[in-house]
Amino acid sequence: MPLKTVFFISDGTGITAASMGHSLLTQFPDIQLSKQFRPFIDTLEKARTVVNEINALSQRTREKPILFTTIVDSTIREEIGRSQAVVLDLFHGFIQQLSKHWHTEANPYIGRAHGLEDNPTYNVRIDALNYTLSTDDGLGYQLYPEADVILIGVSRSGKTPTCLYLAMHFGIYAANYAYTDDDGQYFELLPELKAQRSKLFGLVISPEHLHEIRTKRKPNTEYASLARCQQELKMMRDLLTREKIPFIDATVRSVEEISTTIVTQMGLIRRDV
Amino acid sequence: MPLKTVFFISDGTGITAASMGHSLLTQFPDIQLSKQFRPFIDTLEKARTVVNEINALSQRTREKPILFTTIVDSTIREEIGRSQAVVLDLFHGFIQQLSKHWHTEANPYIGRAHGLEDNPTYNVRIDALNYTLSTDDGLGYQLYPEADVILIGVSRSGKTPTCLYLAMHFGIYAANYAYTDDDGQYFELLPELKAQRSKLFGLVISPEHLHEIRTKRKPNTEYASLARCQQELKMMRDLLTREKIPFIDATVRSVEEISTTIVTQMGLIRRDV
């Protein structure tokens, strides 16, 4: 089957269009796609340029491309709507439904979703990100009292990406502390962690997967050996069980899934809303 | 006006539902909202629990709440559809349109969008994130040849959050190099940066905003003073102009907007698609 072209067109960053489009397209895993991103289409002139591009493609391939659009301005929206394409307008129908239900007119404003204005949650997300960087990997113990959650786990079990995601998306202050067996360290809770016991959450992972990740980073070292990974993970699981700390297996879960599970299980307050 | 309750219900992480819902709701800035997230509703039993919760709320407040749903499984979708609520199904209509246009049945699979399976882009995003952490703030010069883009700018102008966003969302290998006037450093390009000139992109910011950010971090220091911020930013702009390096003003732009602009202006290849 030839490549199907999909455009993501927005008068803002196009992040919502890309996210929604991606989710919808994953339901069609057999379709081979060419994805074209056209963000910041915020003037009629830019809209006309895109429409010309789409029409030329449509005529050349004799197939209408798909457009995922999130356009607030009605003039630009109508211009894009005149393309020789299948337009999936991700905003308009839902905005009309909300407007009708709430008996309120929408107040069109381009780029509000991912911009700075009217976005009081933005600063807290950046602040949370800086917090995570300041406390990453065992730094900044003195900042633990300010944490919403402190992830613990062996080195390379996914703590840092998860903390960064929690911070950037949910505005959650996430620290992490890594266990290793480098110096025969006994796997126990430091006083600084014991003092924050209710905030602790563990990550585990399969020894085979950890071995693979560590091997990429430091091939042929004792640190990356399967035996060492097995040993550390056993000690980690013993610690989590002994101390009754909730944990999740990161082996077959994405950072998005792990983060969402932590927020739900720990009852954390999202600051991005 | 009383709080309007909005539910985000998904059989996966609910990240798409939250992102789309957020974008739509920003068009109604005057509505006061209570947002409820219900991810991982992946069994009929969990669906019934949520429906009971929604119906109880609906009866108590005598107003139907809004549900933003992204549910793939048809049985669960229908169960949620029986709520006493206004259901905005973000997936179903669009999937039907795509299915019709492509003459292909959708292949329903929960959680594919933000999961690990069928997600070859996941590993590259995590790898890019590790790359950014290894090269953050002037570390890892020897890794610059592997960069897709190298951000340069004065300390605290937004380089690190932008790099992390580029890595996590777009799978772009983004390094950054900070200029400061700490030791009377002359603002010029290091040989390591000159060798990667086509990858350089500058961030600038208003002196007042930089002063504010630095003051939060290190109050009453010479580093945070307005005079020092003005001086450094003048030297930074001179460098960018002299070396003809493209740049953007980060003062009134979010990390999402800055990142999208960089990808577009530099013609970077997104690896998340």
CATH number of the domain at A138, please. 3.40.50
Torsion over CA of A94, A97, A101 and A104, rounded to 10 degrees? Answer: 80
Q: Does A112 touch chain B (CB under 8 A)?
A: yes
Q: Tokens standing for B217?
A: 């971090």
Residue B110: the pLDDT is: 64
Query: Residue B194 falls within a domain, yes or no?
Result: yes
**ipTM value of the model?**
0.91
Q: pLDDT confidence of B120, banded at 50, 70, 90?
A: low
Q: Are residues B138 and B254 in the same domain?
A: yes
Residue B112 pLDDT more than 70?
no
Q: Are residues A152 and A228 in the same domain?
A: yes
Between positions 178 and 217 of A, the ones with CB within 8 A of B are none
Query: Residue B114 falls within a domain, yes or no?
Result: no
Last residue of a domain, one of A71, A102, A133: A102
Q: How far apart are CA B183 and CA A182, in angstroms?
A: 37
Q: Are residues A214 and A255 in the same domain?
A: yes
| Per-residue pLDDT reduced to its tens digit, A164-217 | 999 999 999 999 999 987 655 678 999 999 999 999 999 999 999 999 999 999
**Nearest one of A178, A176, A177, A175 to A147, comparing CA atoms:** A175
Q: Are residues B191 and B259 in the same domain?
A: yes
Between positions 120 and 179 of A, the ones with CB within 8 A of B are 122, 126, 129, 133, 160-161, 164-165, 168-169
Which residues on chain A are in Cβ contact (under 8 Å) with B23? 16, 70, 91, 113
Nearest CA in chain B to A256: B114
Residue A123: the pLDDT is: 87
Share of chain A above pLDDT 70, in %: 94
Residue A273 pLDDT more than 60?
yes
Q: How far apart are CA A16 and CA A10, in angstroms?
A: 9
Helix (H) or strand (E) holding B257: helix B255-266
Q: Are residues B95 and B46 in the same domain?
A: yes
Which residues on chain A are in Cβ contact (under 8 Å) with B256? 13, 15, 114-115
Which residues on chain B are in Cβ contact (under 8 Å) with A99? 28
Q: pLDDT confidence of B130, banded at 50, 70, 90?
A: very high
Query: Residue B216 falls within a domain, yes or no?
Result: yes
Nearest CA in chain A to B129: A161
Q: Are residues B258 and B132 in the same domain?
A: yes
Mean pLDDT over each residue of chain A, to the nearest integer: 92
Residue A20 pLDDT more than 60?
yes
Q: How far apart are CA B220 and CA B216, in angstroms?
A: 9
Mean pLDDT of the region B99-109: 88
Q: Are residues B125 and B210 in the same domain?
A: yes
Q: How far apart are CA B9 and CA B12, in angstroms?
A: 9
Edge-to-edge strand ranges of the sheet holding B200-204: B174-179, B149-154, B200-204, B247-249
Of residues B188 and A116, the one with the higher pLDDT is: B188
Q: Does A32 touch chain B (CB under 8 A)?
A: no
Which residues on chain B are in Cβ contact (under 8 Å) with A124? none
Mutation pick from A6, A13, A23, A212 vs chain B, by most beta carbons of B within 10 Å, is A23
Distance from CA of A5 to the nearest CA of B (A): 12
B115 and A253 in contact by Cβ < 8 A?
A: yes
| Per-residue pLDDT reduced to its tens digit, B223-238 | 999 999 999 999 999 9
Last residue of a domain, one of B69, B102, B135: B102
Distance from CA of B96 to the nearest CA of A (A): 10
| Count of residues making up chain A | 273
Distance from CA of A164 to the nearest CA of B (A): 8
Residues 6+ apart with CB under 8 A from B16: A19, A20, A22, A23, B10, B70, B90, B113, B114
Q: Is the dihedral of CA A82, A85, A86, A92 positive or negative?
A: negative
Q: Are residues A93 and A170 in the same domain?
A: no
Using DSSP, state whether B37 is helix, strand or coil.
Answer: strand
Q: Tokens standing for A139?
A: 């730094």
Block residue for tokens 């290998």: B173
The predicted model scores a pTM of 0.92
Rg (CA), chain B: 24
| Per-residue pLDDT reduced to its tens digit, B200-210 | 999 999 999 99
A193-199 long-range contacts, Cβ below 8 Å, gap at least 24? A193/A144, A193/A150, A193/A152, A195/A144, A195/A145, A196/A144, A196/A145, A196/A147, A196/A150, A197/A243, A197/A245, A199/A144, A199/A147, A199/A148, A199/A149, A199/A150, A199/A266
Rg (CA), chain A: 24
Query: Residue B40 falls within a domain, yes or no?
Result: yes
| Per-residue pLDDT reduced to its tens digit, B147-156 | 999 999 999 9
Q: Are residues B166 and B194 in the same domain?
A: yes
Of A118, A253, A254, Cβ closest to residue B29: A118
Which residues on chain A are in Cβ contact (under 8 Å) with B88? 94, 97-98
Which residues on chain B are in Cβ contact (under 8 Å) with A22? 16, 113, 273
Number of domains in chain B: 2
Query: Residue B188 falls within a domain, yes or no?
Result: yes
Q: Does A238 touch chain B (CB under 8 A)?
A: no
- CB-CB neighbours of A58 under 10 Å: 16
Q: How far apart are CA A258 and CA B2, in angstroms?
A: 34
Mean pLDDT of the region A217-237: 95
Query: Residue A110 falls within a domain, yes or no?
Result: no
Q: Are residues B130 and B252 in the same domain?
A: yes
Using DSSP, state whether B229 is helix, strand or coil.
Answer: helix
Residues 6+ apart with CB under 8 A from A158: A203, A205, A250, A255, A258
| Per-residue pLDDT reduced to its tens digit, B33-53 | 999 999 999 999 999 999 999
Query: A220-237: string of b/e by CB count within 10 Å (b at 16+)?
Result: eeebbeeebbeebbebbe
- DSSP secondary structure letters along A143-169: GGGG-SEEEEEETTSSHHHHHHHHHHH
Check: CB of residue B214 under 8 Å from CB of residue B173.
no
Q: Are residues B220 and B144 in the same domain?
A: yes
Phi, psi of A169 (to 5 degrees): -95, -40
Query: Residue B47 falls within a domain, yes or no?
Result: yes
Q: Are residues A92 and A158 in the same domain?
A: no
Mean pLDDT of the region A22-40: 93
Q: Which domain holds residue B223?
A: 121-266
Residue A272: the pLDDT is: 84
Which 3-state string (H, E, C) describes B65-114? CEEEEECCCHHHHHHHHCCCCEEEECCHHHHHHHHHHHCCCCCCCCCCCC
Q: Does A108 touch chain B (CB under 8 A)?
A: yes
Q: pLDDT confidence of A108, banded at 50, 70, 90?
A: confident
Residue A119: the pLDDT is: 61
A260 and B86 in contact by Cβ < 8 A?
A: no
**Nearest one of A65, A89, A54, A50 to A6, comparing CA atoms:** A65
Helix axes B159-170, A121-134, angle to 10 degrees: 90
Residue A121: the pLDDT is: 79
Q: How far apart are CA A176 and CA A151, in angstroms?
A: 4
Share of chain A above pLDDT 90, in %: 84
Query: Residue B273 falls within a domain, yes or no?
Result: no
Residue B116: the pLDDT is: 67
Last residue of a domain, one of A41, A68, A102: A102
Q: Does A66 touch chain B (CB under 8 A)?
A: yes
Residue B273: the pLDDT is: 77
Q: pLDDT confidence of A1, banded at 50, 70, 90?
A: low
Nearest CA in chain A to B2: A102
Mean pLDDT over each residue of chain B, to the nearest integer: 92
